[in-house]
Amino acid sequence: MFGPGRYRKTRAQQLASPRGQLAQLRYVPRALRLVWAAAPGWTAASLALVVAQGVLPIFTVYLTRAVVNALVAIVGSGGAVANLRPAAATIGLMGLVLLAGELLDNAASYVRTALAEQVQDHMNGLIHAQAVALDLSFYESPTYYDQLQRASIDAIDRPLGLLESLSSLLQSAITLAAMAGVLLTFAWWLPLALLIGTLPALRVALRTTWQFHQWRLINTTHQRRLTYYHRALTSDTMAAEIRLFDLGGHFSRAYHRLRGRLRDERLSLSRQQMAAQAGASLIGLLTLALALGWMAWRALAGRFNLGDLAMFYQAMSQGQRLMRSLLTGVGEIYRNLLFLEDLFAFLDLRPQLADPAQPAAAPAGLRDGIRLAGVTFRYPDSARPALADFTLEIPAGQIVAIVGENGAGKSTLLKLLCRFYDPQGGAITWDGCDLRALAQADLRRRITVLFQQPAPYHDTAADNIAFGDLASQPSRAQIEQAAAAAAADTIIRRLPDGYETVLGRWFGYTELSVGEWQRLALARAFIRQADLVILDEPTSAMDSWAEAAWMGRFRELVAGRTALIITHRFTTAMQADIIHVMHEGRVVESGTHAELVAQGGRYAASWRLQMREAQAGVGMV
């Protein structure tokens, strides 16, 4: 394996070579299948309009010659009536063709809009599904966030962009083939001159596209950092500290420094592109001038009439414009393919945790308990194990508390029980069945968790609780019962619209304190009637009075179920049937509160310290 910097350099070398550029074509079929899957009807309509728009200019060119010759005949005959009628018919036909072109343009615009909306919805759905399906381990890697950024922001519209580029290419190719046929009637070498005059534009298009993509690839992390600086300055979560510590100037300067650097680099690329395009355009104009000079010389010699000259100019100028459009379209296709590689790389990520081909039947309830035997686990890219040869039993129907200092492995235990990760060694069993033999969804439906940092959902208070078990569609009575169990009902009754109050500042006007959000999260955990209840620091945001009142009812709330409490507060832990003390990824002491105090070990020392702090009026709240 090698780092992101070396990867980017290797990819740049590959994409700079003709073979690497051609290799990007492998993404075309998959991208078109995505567009077709999103909106088959609109895609077919778009292609039909492309063909019609490609054919229509052919009629315009031929009618131009007919109109010019008709006008010359009228002037030559002194306005004879016999020449007026065919001229009027030709001009009327030209008008109809021009009108048809306008109508086709309007229809194509509407179809493109409808197709774009459908494709965007489809692509967002794919990205959302992928983000939810991937393991938690992906969210611990900055490389993943770069991939997500490039897929969800830079590349999400690329399948449609590729279709539009290919459609434009097809339309230009149809018209160009006809123009080449027109030019062949004048001289065999004219289509070749048309091609040579526009080849420099192709070189410019491919090179500038490649340079721009490399710039975006290299600066993905910087773009995310700009987003971070912007959120630091504008989000409510950081607003208080930004003001208290006077950090606004720091983040604003950091934003503008980085933005200025990226802006200068982008403008430098644009200047290079502008200069290269000017050179390519000059070559194209010289080619057109030479061809027109030759045609004028032949016309003066009497080989062509005025209508032929008008048709030649139309065919040559349109042909050159179409060639430039064609070659620019090739550049756009290449640009879209470069970004599609990032999109497909993200969509092709696969979760490391996989359900077995034949999942075991989930045990009914939790009869015996959960056992961790010799479990060893380290996080990705971490040299130090979070748990080492870890053994623990959680008996069914009991309340088990885990205490220990930060970094002891307590929250890691929660993640393993929910099977957000698999251990590298040992096994975790539920009534003797290895968790890896169960379908992840079946396992997680049997567990409810209050996380240490619960999510504040900017929705109604009722929905904040119902989200804990949407599958069962809890009734209002069940929601209120869960709120009462978490002591959140008193908070909700004070809200302007009770359970229908929209919480948070994104869509409503009612913000809660940290402790109040935690009470709602606790109600969310309780509404799911799960076999295993895991509470990670359930009383961390409660004052001592609220903690005492809630813990006094806790046994009643989890009656008949198994509970695991992860806590720093010994006043919370002492309510458990058994307490395990963790240190450096291992259980070092176990027993009831009284037994652990009597042992005089780590638990007893910490208990005495907490009591001294409480008596001194300093400590626990």
The C-alpha atoms of residue 160 and residue 447 are separated, in whole angstroms, by: 42
Among candidate residues 335, 351, 288, 348, the one with its CA nearest the CA of residue 316: 288
pLDDT along the chain (621 residues), means of 10: 45 52 74 87 88 78 73 69 71 83 87 86 85 83 78 72 74 69 70 67 69 77 84 75 76 88 85 72 69 71 69 69 66 73 84 87 86 90 85 92 83 90 92 92 90 88 92 92 89 93 87 88 89 86 68 77 88 87 86 89 83 59 39
Among candidate residues 56, 49, 54, the one with its CA nearest the CA of residue 101: 56
Among candidate residues 544, 549, 543, the one with its CA nearest the CA of residue 486: 549
- As a residue count, the chain comes to 621
* Torsion angle of the four alpha carbons 590, 595, 598, 600, in this order, in degrees rounded to the nearest 10: 10
Non-local (6+) Cβ contacts of 164 within 8 A are: 112
CB 379 within 8 A of CB 422: no
The C-alpha atoms of residue 427 and residue 36 are separated, in whole angstroms, by: 46
The residue assigned the tokens 């005025």 is 306
441 HSE (CA, 13 A, CB side): 4
Cα–Cα separations (whole angstroms), residue 160 to 49, 59, 335, 493, 529: 16, 30, 13, 50, 45
Tell me the pairing of strands 586-591 and 578-583: antiparallel
Cα–Cα separations (whole angstroms), residue 570 to 123, 564, 594: 49, 14, 12
The C-alpha atoms of residue 338 and residue 26 are separated, in whole angstroms, by: 11
The C-alpha atoms of residue 254 and residue 118 are separated, in whole angstroms, by: 38
CB 399 within 8 A of CB 573: no
CB 580 within 8 A of CB 392: yes
The C-alpha atoms of residue 391 and residue 586 are separated, in whole angstroms, by: 8
- Helix (H) or strand (E) segment spanning residue 582: strand 578-583
CB 322 within 8 A of CB 179: yes
| pLDDT value at residue 462 | 94
CB 394 within 8 A of CB 400: yes
Residue ranges and CATH numbers for the domains of the chain are 24-347 (1.20.1560.10)
| pLDDT value at residue 463 | 93
| pLDDT value at residue 375 | 92
Cα–Cα separations (whole angstroms), residue 161 to 113, 116, 167, 323, 389: 12, 9, 10, 20, 53
